[in-house]
Structure 1
Amino acid sequence: MTSITASQSPACPLWRRLIALVYDLLAVVAIVMVVGYVCQRITGGSLVTVDGHAHIAWWYQPLQAVVVSAYFIASWLRGGQTLGMRPWRIRVTRADGGKLTPAQALLRLLAAALPLLLLALAPWAGSRAALWAVAIGWAAWFGFGAIDPRRRAIHDVIARTELRRIG
């Protein structure tokens, strides 16, 4: 009996990728809540101040971005899978089936996060329009996988990675 290598395993369909992303969203919400709680405890409850408008400490959002980024990068580098990818039996690999390099993982993360730059439209278009722009951007990002022969999202094309079904 011959074993199938990662580069020979079937590409991950879009629906499976999106369901795994929902699972990861739950993990990210939990991480954000824990970091928020710890920061509130450390600052004695002064992380958010209110004087007519809510003000968040300048360092809080960058800290959350670093922690969430570390979750994805560490997961991809450690075993090629996030918590959401495990139950759906998918793994991110290089195009040749090998493990991601740290540079690839970082590039994949930055490319996947690019639609978040559309939040900068909020002052001119409003928060709702900016959020819709991000959603449409990510739909295009992942939707590309529906027409790509190897089912890669745009961030996979940029980072030269692929999602493969395993097992």
Structure 2
Amino acid sequence: MSQRRFTQLDCVWPAPLARRLGALIYDGFLLAAIWIAVAVTHVAFFRFVVGQSAEEIGTSALEVWTLRLLLVFSAMVFFAFSWTRGGMTLGMQSWRLRVETVDGYSITLRQSVVRCLVAWISLAALGLGYWWVLFDSERRSWPDLVSGTRTVVVPKESA
């Protein structure tokens, strides 16, 4: 998939922390719904395809680790698909935010995977990777810095 150039690049500005947190909360609810669907499908697979009894489900390391990997994978697919397609997740659309390259193009799959991985680290560090926007002159978070992207506020007309 080729990168597309966004329009009205002179009308965007770096996203402040409050908007980022708002979008993060919105996307958190959507991601929770995705994770519920993944978990239900995972349990149903072991219950009805593998044939385990209800008491056996979730007791082996294989089941626990496959579920964990599926949850991480589904989160990365959700964000990577949204960011590479239009630069926005559903939560970001609500808060008029967009992720783009520093040149104003949609981000690549590689950049979105890097953003996801660094986002996990940023959250694990008590959110320090996101608090970083308060200290960076261009309001970049750790995911922005490491992936070579930026998160901007889009004007109302083009949102």
Length-normalised TM-score, structure 1: 0.77
Supply the distance in 1 between the matched residues of 2:17 and 2:136 (Cα, whole angstroms). 11
Structure 1 pair 47–40 and aligned structure 2 pair: CA distance change class (3 A): farther
Q: How does 1:74-113 map to 2 (within 5 A)?
A: 74-113=81-120
State the one-letter code of the partner of 1:103.
Answer: R
Contact 2:130 2:141 in 1 (8 A): yes
Name segments (4+ residues, structure 1) moved above 4 Å. 45-51, 53-56
Q: Count residues in correspondence.
A: 144
Supply the distance in 2 between the matched residues of 1:156 and 1:146 (Cα, whole angstroms). 13
Aligned twin of 1:154: 142
RMSD of aligned residue pairs (Cα, Å): 2.4
Structure 1 pair 99–138 and aligned structure 2 pair: CA distance change class (3 A): farther
1:113 deviation in Å?
1.5
1:7 deviation in Å?
5.7
Contact 1:89 1:165 in 2 (8 A): yes
Q: Deviations over 1:96-150 (max 9, x none)?
A: 111101111111111111256xxxxxxxxxxxxxxxxx3xx14211111001111
User: Is 1:69 aligned to 2:76, yes or no?
Assistant: yes
Aligned twin of 1:126: none
Supply the distance in 2 between the matched residues of 1:79 and 1:68 (Cα, whole angstroms). 17
Q: Which moved more, 1:81-90 or 1:34-43?
A: 34-43
Q: Which moved more, 1:6-15 or 1:42-51?
A: 42-51
User: Is 1:31 aligned to 2:53, yes or no?
Assistant: no
Secondary structure of the residue aligned to 1:44 is helix
Aligned twin of 2:3: none
Length-normalised TM-score, structure 2: 0.81
State the one-letter code of the partner of 1:154.
Answer: W
1:54 deviation in Å?
5.2
User: Is 1:40 aligned to 2:43, yes or no?
Assistant: yes
User: Is 1:164 aligned to 2:152, yes or no?
Assistant: yes
Pick aligned residue for 2:121 from 95, 100, 114? 114
Matched-pair identity in %: 28
Structure 1 pair 59–74 and aligned structure 2 pair: CA distance change class (3 A): same
